[in-house]
Amino acid sequence: MDETAKILVIEDNENNVYLMKFLLEKSGYEVIEARGGREGVDLAVKERPDLILMDIQLPDISGEEATRRIRESPADGDIPIVALTSYAMAGDRERFLAAGCTGYIEKPIDPERFVGEIAKFLK
């Protein structure tokens, strides 16, 4: 994958956004940010990113709902959407995948492994 891949980060926590943006930009990715689900859906349609990092707990609509809306939108149903979640309960992975997520990464993110995990979804 071209290292200038565009990644949409949909996350309301400033610290998480800062860390992800820092790690991704340092690795040569372009980062677009949204602070809520609705804004994330709009940006997904407008920007057509190569990958979406989706927080599950958002202030307006849930990450699951935002994922469903992106999948139903003209954005392109093939964009990999990776759920970011501190929920690691039994059945959650299946729920996120059923909502349309391609995979998921547990929070807190591990800076040593994060970019490598993201790269797998960009192939």
The pLDDT tens digits along the chain (123 residues) read 444 899 999 999 999 999 999 999 999 999 999 999 999 999 999 999 999 999 999 999 999 999 999 999 988 778 999 999 886 677 888 889 999 999 999 899 999 999 999 999 997
Q: Is residue 24 part of a domain?
A: yes
* pLDDT the model gives residue 1: 44
Whole-model pTM? 0.94
Counting the structural domains of the chain, the total is 1
Q: Is residue 1 part of a domain?
A: no
Going by C-alpha positions, the residue among 56, 32, 50, 36 that lies closest to residue 118 is 50
Q: Is residue 59 part of a domain?
A: yes
Q: What's the token pair of residue 103?
A: 């995979």
Q: Is residue 87 part of a domain?
A: yes
* pLDDT the model gives residue 22: 98
| Cβ partners under 8 Å of residue 75, min gap 6 | 41, 44, 45, 48
* pLDDT the model gives residue 12: 96
| CATH at 13 | 3.40.50.2300
Please count the CA atoms within 13 angstroms of the CA of 61 that sit on its side-chain side.
14
- Rounded to a whole number of angstroms, the CA Rg of the chain reads 13
Q: Is residue 49 part of a domain?
A: yes
Q: Is residue 37 part of a domain?
A: yes
